[in-house]
Structure 1
Amino acid sequence: MAAQTQAVTPLQFLPLSTSISPSFWHRLTDLKLHHLKLSDDPMPICGWFGRGKQVKDRVTGESVAISAGLELDTASFDAETDVGASNTTVVIDRVRLRGVLRNFNTIEEFKNCDKAKLLDELGEQIWQQATSASSSSVTLESLNPFLLITFADLKKYRYYYWCGLPALAQKPGWEIVADWREVSLPGTSTAPLHLLRGDETETGALADAAAFWANTPADERRIVLSDPSAHPSAPGWPLRNVLLFLSITPTLTQPITSLAITLVRDGQAISTRIRRQGGAETKEEAKRPGTVGWEKNEKGKLGPRMADLGPLIDPTRLADQAVDLNLQLMRWRVMPSLDLEKVKSTRCLLLGAGTLGCYVARTLMAWGVRKITLIDSSTVSFSNPVRQPLFEFEDSLNGGKPKAQTAAAALKRIYPGVDATGISLSIPMPGHPIPPTAQDAVRQDLATLERLVDEHDVVYLLMDSRESRWLPTVIGAAKGKLVMNAALGFDTFLVMRHGLPTEESAASTPAEIVPGAPYRGQLGCYYCNDVVAPMDSLSDRTLDQMCTVTRPGIASIASSTAVELMVSILQHPQGALAPSDITASKASPAAPSSGLPSPASPLGVVPHQIRGFLANFENLKITGHTYERCTGCSKAILEAYRTNAFDLVRQSCEDAKYLERLTGLDKLEEETEALLAEGLDWDEEDEEAEL
């Protein structure tokens, strides 16, 4: 017989405190950015609690009680994941609870939501289970749902949260009628809650209480609970709703008003006897109690908590998430179809690390591009830092630092997560002879340039001379790369993409360009409009011709336009083969107001060329087809490159007319003169006829 207590004391319950791992907030951040976006719909989560334990203090030798809390981590979002084998919710000493997460979009919504109503909705679910005529699915888990409301400040990595573990405050409650005593661990069951009868080892489930205890005397009924509390006389919060269920469930002939409880903790089990204050309550008398359970904050008051992960996260990782934040926000409301991963994974090769190169690199980083390689052969001069934003005054001292490496280092200082590389490399140019002693070096430079083009997806031509763009144009065309070109005049700029072969371009003659219609033939390259081959434009120049004389703001305009055009191309289903489209509606690309078809790229049109005129602040979109005698992308040039690339480079450098002979441009003048002469004869004949 159980020893009697000297005085009857109310049974109190120790609330569960939440313990949220940083991995939970990282997972929530990812879900919010990529999946939830503006949705604040409830979503299922799960958490776990362990067993309370006693730990000996190493200094004093005294035993310290440590209660377990409700643990949440990244696995909490996998609500269907059990912590153990199938059909069980416990492994050794961890019990799973299911919950609901409500993540609000603003701090005001978080503060002003009806918290009492939210918690009471779960309380109603508990009451319906407890009073249902069918209780076959009742478990410790189902009687103890939890609610977590949050607001994630993703700019500062601060997470405001408040957890509620609803319990129905039953009145009258329960009281302890026997001393707590330590007992042997009963049975071998791993269930977090099971029933016993007297000294029998057979166990029963909570849902089977009516049948299991049908003929069992009241003093032989016992429940065994995996208990998160370490308090010597207060069981954990999950027991509260279990006792409510046993005291009012309609499946029992007589509600339970007296039973023994055994609390299994880490390494020990303690037991006592309890009874319902006021005795039995009929089913008709049972009324739904009020719901309690909001967790207290660190000040011991009812209120939310805040987790500040900023100081805990590696600064580089913080930068990674911050760089992508604004981009991901585009997909929430403005442009859900935007494929940011395609942009992020694009490898960009920038030929030229001057004014255009610096601005292009910065804009690429703003779009989330991680792989940027810069090539340049010059050094930083005193005039560069004010116009080229990746350089500083110190970079121009002592003869100047190499531009490419210095620019790459600056990119890494701005954002450590970028894979930026700078390479000093000279690019052979038509009309610039190669000394015999330098041929091996040029051959090596050519091989390096070819390798770099192979390793990247997009090639930017950002050099300061026309002839320096020729060899990368040829290599890009031969290897089928997307080549972006940006060039400056005093108050004008050109941004264009080089065309690639398409099915329509297989015809012997270029497709006709129809105004207002997308052009699906092969688009031209930088040299397709030329009637002469590129030649030496750097020698015999005055000072104003040697320096870049442009309006200072035009470089950033051209650079950003080039990057934006690249991103629009990447979003098009046909990518680099996208037809030139210059006639989109003035309305949003997603909802054009005119009768014109909506562009295939969610960002709008993908023109071939954009020519900007700063004098009147206008842009002109132009489409140009490929030219069969082009010195940059014609079949003759590409065949010569594939046959012997170095020989093509060597001859074009040493003989200014070589490319014209190779492509047939040298015959163009003769053909033109013949046509003019033929046209002149027609004019004379017409005049004679009129006489």
Structure 2
Amino acid sequence: MPIVQFAPFSSLVQPTFWHELTSLKIDVLRLSDEAVPITGSYSVGRSITDRETGHEIVLGCNMSVGSESFDKNAVAPAGSFPAKGHLKNYNTIEEFKAADKTALFNQEADKMWEAIVSKRDSTSLNNFLVITFADLKKYKYYYWFAFPAFAAKPAWEIDELGWRLAASELSPESLSSIHSKLHATPLPFFLLRSGLEIAPIDSYSTFFANVPPEEQTIGFVDPSASPTNPGWPLRNLLAYLRAVYPETTSRLRVLCWRDSEVPHAPAGWKSRIGVVHITPSPESGGRPSAVGWEKNPQGKLAPRMADLAPMMDPTRLADQAVDLNLKLMRWRILPSLDLEKISSTKCLLLGAGTLGCYVARTLMGWGVRDITLVDSGKVSFSNPVRQPLFEFEDCLEGGKPKAECAAARMKKIFPGINAAGHSLSIPMPGHPVPPASVDQTRADVKKLEELIDTHDAVFLLMDSRESRWLPTVICAAKGKIVLNAALGFDTFLVMRHGVRESSLQPGATQLGCYYCNDIVAPADSLTDRTLDEMCTVTRPGIASLASSTAVELLASVLQHPDGVHAAAPPANSDPAALINAGVLGLVPHQLRGFLAQFRNLHIVGAAYSRCTGCSETVLKAYEKEGFDMILQALNDDKYLQHLTGLDTLYAEGEKALEEVDWDVDDEEGEDF
């Protein structure tokens, strides 16, 4: 009699499977190569008709995997049946190539046989294994599937009638009944008696009790459409029955179920039926040999490779690639790093010049997706060499608006960024507003308030000291994170503003803002400046150092458990002590960098009760009077000093100086 030939499974890997594996590798597995459970699915075998020849072309006996394969609670698609598998991902291509495939395969086969013999678990009959290596930089995925199948000795044979259409022995009513019952209760393996009643395969001993052999049928959902070769699941089903019920399974009537729909005509049923038999042999007691490593398209026992780069949307490729370094950093060095907290922080950059451009680039490097820039200037010919978001073409015809131009360039660098630019003049103390410009100033203030309201962190990166006053007041009132960066020739200052006094945590010390060290109100520092004073004259490396430091300080604040309320380490403390540190280390209040000495100095500045930027007096006046208070501060250079009491302090100081006796004894002077 002819030996039964089985159609092996072929893997059908959806692109979504690789996307999900990428996320799993970066976020969960990291350096682990432990096997993880996955699921696959298969359905009845299918074929298509060649329009030219009219011949039936058999499609592959496919086991499909996709993104849902990693979801433990996923349900197989309608008309499909699940299969359990394990995925083992290797960290390097060398480890993938050197893996002991024989040992891995035998381990999986042993588990299946144990489930069959000891647990009588038919759900393990279609188990599979896949080993992978994911080259996440090139989006190439190397993989090899194994579908363990137990070899029968001697081999199964098919009787002289071979595999024939089931409709030749079962009535259309019986076939319709089977279809209806399998649709209601999907069973990859089932028992059929009297042509009508079905039951799970595990009910073999009871379901077939007192049933004549000629009325017993073993059924399975057949993923093969070949007229002569049933699908791979039958091979393990027969091994299962022989191992568990050897006395009654040497001759079996098998139904290969291949009908996903009820045909319009009785002749349209595709399922096949046949009688297979095996010569009984003494039980060996051990697991039979197994085969099942998948062949590649060239017909060789070798792995396959999926190259997703050509078929992927470049924007999506970039979206995954820009975060790769960050995620590698997390799973290699800082498992507790909360990247999502950083990437979801909306950042407002006031100033799109040298500092603004470098801050924006560094924020992009940290994975920040929402960045808004504000500037009132246009790109000039001196900008591109120092400001990395501009090019020569941006300077032509009077120059493009800086903020909008920088935002557009960021989108060219990374299309996934949500970048916006606004041309906006920030009102400044010491710069009076003419009556004709009050409405425009009111609109500018309202726009600035709206921008600060919709962002989480604000960077003060402007050229002048007084331009930072209004954002300082608004941010303090709204409880925003504020990062300040300012440049000297070979020095820089980077600081975070403290929270307002009314929102301090019990026992906490209030940290100062940019203006807390001043004993005068901010005033006009722009009028009548010389050329060198109108330009920021600095060593070229200072801006990138200060900008990077400011962004890293924001990251440290976001990763600290107390966030914006994080206490500053003591001034000049040993950095190695990591006092009040977070995940990324210290969260200082102020950093003063000295490039001539190549060192940074930690400074802690306490808040000043008479500060013109963050004192409760100023904030309450702003919250109560709004724009009227701001307009008065802009037009009256004495207003803020009077509001905060700095004028009284100044008067007291002058009076104290008047009372000092400055006369010096002549003789003491001679001796001196």
TM-score when normalising by structure 1: 0.88
Distance 1:492-1:600 versus aligned 2 partners, 3 A rule: closer
Letter in structure 2 aligned against 1:319? A
Task: Tell me, yes or no, if structure 1 residue 655 matches structure 2 residue 636.
Answer: yes
Task: Tell me, yes or no, if structure 1 residue 195 matches structure 2 residue 188.
Answer: no
Describe how 1:521-560 pairs up with structure 2 within 5 A: 521-560=509-548
Distance 1:620-1:62 versus aligned 2 partners, 3 A rule: same
Q: Secondary structure at the match of 2:605?
A: coil
Distance 1:626-1:585 versus aligned 2 partners, 3 A rule: closer
Asked whether the 8 Å contact 1:219–1:259 carries over to 2, the reply is no
**Shift of residue 431, structure 1, vs aligned partner:** 1.2
Q: Secondary structure at the match of 1:9?
A: coil
Which residue number corresponds to residue 590 of structure 1? none
**Structure 1 CA distance for aligned equivalents of residues 655 and 664 of structure 2:** 14
Which residue number corresponds to residue 160 of structure 1? 142
Distance 1:335-1:129 versus aligned 2 partners, 3 A rule: closer
Asked whether the 8 Å contact 1:25–1:159 carries over to 2, the reply is yes
**Shift of residue 217, structure 1, vs aligned partner:** 5.5
Which residue number corresponds to residue 402 of structure 2? 403
**What are structure 2's unaligned runs of at least 5 residues?**
168-173, 260-268
Letter in structure 2 aligned against 1:626? A
Which residue number corresponds to residue 83 of structure 2? 97
Which residue number corresponds to residue 587 of structure 2? 606
Which residue number corresponds to residue 479 of structure 2? 480
Which residue number corresponds to residue 256 of structure 1? 249
**Shift of residue 680, structure 1, vs aligned partner:** 5.0
Letter in structure 2 aligned against 1:472? P
Task: Tell me, yes or no, if structure 1 residue 209 matches structure 2 residue 204.
Answer: yes
Which residue number corresponds to residue 59 of structure 2? 66
Distance 1:504-1:218 versus aligned 2 partners, 3 A rule: closer
Letter in structure 1 aligned against 2:217? R
Which residue number corresponds to residue 274 of structure 1? 276
Distance 1:487-1:129 versus aligned 2 partners, 3 A rule: closer
**Structure 2 CA distance for aligned equivalents of residues 349 and 506 of structure 1:** 26
Asked whether the 8 Å contact 1:219–1:258 carries over to 2, the reply is no
Distance 1:667-1:55 versus aligned 2 partners, 3 A rule: same
Letter in structure 2 aligned against 1:280? P
Describe how 1:288-687 pairs up with structure 2 within 5 A: 288-502=287-501, 520-582=508-570, 586-587=575-576, 596=577, 599-676=580-657
**Structure 2 CA distance for aligned equivalents of residues 128 and 484 of structure 1:** 63
**What are structure 1's unaligned runs of at least 5 residues?**
1-7, 85-90, 512-519, 588-595
Letter in structure 1 aligned against 2:33? D
Letter in structure 1 aligned against 2:552? E
2:11 is aligned, of 2, 15, 18, to 18
Distance 1:291-1:505 versus aligned 2 partners, 3 A rule: closer
Which residue number corresponds to residue 88 of structure 1? none
**Shift of residue 255, structure 1, vs aligned partner:** 5.1
1:424-447 deviation digits (Å, cap 9, x = unpaired): 011111111212211111111111
**Shift of residue 323, structure 1, vs aligned partner:** 1.4
Q: Percent identity between the aligned chains?
A: 55
**Structure 1 CA distance for aligned equivalents of residues 522 and 600 of structure 2:** 26
Which residue number corresponds to residue 265 of structure 2? none
**Structure 2 CA distance for aligned equivalents of residues 683 and 572 of structure 1:** 56
Letter in structure 1 aligned against 2:475? G
Distance 1:211-1:506 versus aligned 2 partners, 3 A rule: closer
1:398-420 deviation digits (Å, cap 9, x = unpaired): 11111010001011100111111
1:557-606 deviation digits (Å, cap 9, x = unpaired): 0000001001101111221111111477655xxxxxxxx56544111111
2:39 is aligned, of 46, 51, 72, to 46
Out of 199-208 and 401-410, give the one that drifted further: 199-208
1:604-647 deviation digits (Å, cap 9, x = unpaired): 11111000001101100100111111111122222221232322
**Structure 1 CA distance for aligned equivalents of residues 338 and 501 of structure 2:** 24
Out of 427-436 and 439-448, give the one that drifted further: 427-436
Asked whether the 8 Å contact 1:324–1:368 carries over to 2, the reply is yes
Letter in structure 1 aligned against 2:271? A
Which residue number corresponds to residue 225 of structure 2? 230
Which residue number corresponds to residue 593 of structure 1? none
Out of 201-210 and 398-407, give the one that drifted further: 201-210
Letter in structure 1 aligned against 2:128? F
Out of 57-66 and 475-484, give the one that drifted further: 57-66
**Structure 2 CA distance for aligned equivalents of residues 125 and 53 of structure 1:** 31
Instruction: Write 1 or 2 for the structure with the bigger share of helix.
Output: 2
Which residue number corresponds to residue 182 of structure 1? 165
Asked whether the 8 Å contact 1:459–1:484 carries over to 2, the reply is yes
**Shift of residue 339, structure 1, vs aligned partner:** 0.9
Q: Secondary structure at the match of 2:234?
A: helix
Q: Secondary structure at the match of 2:476?
A: helix
**Structure 1 CA distance for aligned equivalents of residues 405 and 524 of structure 2:** 28
Q: Secondary structure at the match of 2:298?
A: coil
**Structure 2 CA distance for aligned equivalents of residues 323 and 443 of structure 1:** 40
**Shift of residue 205, structure 1, vs aligned partner:** 3.2
**Shift of residue 502, structure 1, vs aligned partner:** 4.9
Q: Secondary structure at the match of 1:536?
A: coil
Distance 1:282-1:632 versus aligned 2 partners, 3 A rule: same
Which residue number corresponds to residue 517 of structure 1? none
Distance 1:162-1:217 versus aligned 2 partners, 3 A rule: same
Asked whether the 8 Å contact 1:573–1:600 carries over to 2, the reply is no
Asked whether the 8 Å contact 1:178–1:272 carries over to 2, the reply is no
TM-score when normalising by structure 2: 0.91
**Structure 2 CA distance for aligned equivalents of residues 326 and 17 of structure 1:** 35
Q: Secondary structure at the match of 1:76?
A: helix
**Structure 1 CA distance for aligned equivalents of residues 200 and 110 of structure 2:** 23
